[in-house]
Structure 1
Amino acid sequence: MSGFASIGECMIELSGAAGDNWRMGFAGDTFNTIWYVRALSAPDYAVDYVSAFGDDPFSRKQRDFFAENGIGIAKSPIISGARPGLYAITLDGAERSFTYWRSDAAARRLASDREALTASLKGRDIVYFSGITLAILAPADRQTLLEAIATARENGSRIAFDPNYRPRLWENVETARAAIGDAMRLADIALPTFPDEKDLFGDAVPTVTAARLTALGVKEIVVKDGTGPALVVAEGHEESVPAVTANAVDTTGAGDSFNGAYLSARLKGLAPADAARRAHCVAARVVEFHGALAPMDEAREAFEKLCEA
């Protein structure tokens, strides 16, 4: 097994507004995560973003951006006439809100070619996806995706999943609960955020989230809780890992960067609690930048220093 695959939607991101001037970039929850996996992996380690792409100038610029930063697209389809989704970040202090234009985004067709999807996931150390990945798909494509992920798992890949519940993307709460539950039953590593789990499942405290996921068969669980400690349940142990204080200017991508750093640390052989400590350090550095993607060298430095500075 070799390589990391992340599945989902990478959008055009508008951020850092100053009057009517915006900075354009590319981001999206599972892409943000793979950005940090790329930053924290050896240059020759295969890192691929599995999605579907358009053929317009913005889509070509998007793929060029991936290539420039060492991120492949595996066998992802390029669809004639399609285009990427778009979102804008507005800030109230360091807290962010989002406005989206994504209803006809190419990524909604990422599971339309079953053979290409299966080939893209073949032979990966870790396959990562999120509840947003599920939410943007039509029901039939959602099932195709889960079947492809199940095949990858049967063939030896570890599956990592972040429920990342976003109510506006789902038809209703019942559908979200069912689909996220199906995904969790395939997961080897779960990376939920407690406020999301509280909203969707009514969990009272992070230990309730961990117990519910353990009952679904997940062996490694990290329940994130913003600036609170992360609850790590794995290998027969439970540990609360404190967050790291940061001079936050934009919390966009904090959880995604945590996930990327955590999975990178696990790929390097670190124990789950040690991986969570590294992940907190990276997330604390990331929120000190505007937008979802902090410079890769900053992420590497935070990971390597392990908050000693």
Structure 2
Amino acid sequence: MNDKAFTFQTLHPDTIMDALFEQGIRVDSGLTPLNSYENRVYQFQDEDRHRYVVKFYRPERWSAEQILEEHQFALELQQDEIPVAAPLLFNNQSLLTHQGFYYAVFPSLGGRQFESDNLDQMEWVGRYLARIHQTGSKKRFTARPDIGLKEYLIEPRQIFETATLIPRSLKAAFLAASDSLIDAVMAQWHGRFTTLRLHGDCHAGNILWRDGPLFVDLDDARNGPAVQDLWMLLNGDRAEQRMQLEMIIEAYEEFNAFNTDEIALIEPLRAMRMVYYLAWLIRRWDDPAFPRNFPWLTGEDYWRKQTATFLEQVKVLQEPPLQLTPMY
């Protein structure tokens, strides 16, 4: 993945509408921006009152081969009758180009927000995640990366080292906390799992509810352990998380076996996401959308809190992992 800065400054509304017109779509409404920092995503309506979403991919992030693997996975899931937002085909092509941009068009599918504290909804999601993983296990991504220590810990640590956003007076303490967290993750990480294609970013914000779950935004799809698509659904205290995990796994195993060795990876994966996310913000700081939406990143309080958060996660990693209730 290339970290070259890109700011979308040349992606104007006229550019977007021209790109859509090339595919026979005439925009008959405004372009409503949807919440996406990494890419640029807009909802609109055509002259026949059909609603769509168009997604322009950030250049220098994914290659055409990597985006096509995302699309192919979504289309496979759709073919397997799994509710997922899959790209539309134009002349049998899902990945389109215009003025150097890669983009794709999706149907606008709408729905209510997934209720992360609704155990019935969580049970449904557990079943569908098992089915997603059944499809995901049929083959592996070859162009897209694996979830691993290098991309999620080692490379971010190098970014922290040279980052000018981190206040000089706090940098040593932050780097020491980062190193402690990385060491703690490495001590807990294991390879006792089967790698498969994943949604990769399966949190509540990427699930809509339409008489059942609808999974959206496979932009971060990767190879990795199945538990990566489960742990971000857990919330609350430790007892609540254990109850939720047990419910998800019970529902999951109606369709697919779950390797309980992967439970020990939940807190390492959480730590990896913390580190990777912070490095991502630093990488994208040259994009004007980031200083505008994350102004606190320049404040000393933010970095003090991040240092404390990393050290707290070190303590969590030193505790025993979640345990399922024994079955007798």
Give 1 or 2 for the bigger CA radius of gyration. Answer: 2
Bigger strand share: 1
| TM-score of the pair, normalised by structure 2 | 0.27
| TM-score of the pair, normalised by structure 1 | 0.28
Greater RCO (CA < 8 Å, at least 6 residues apart) = 2
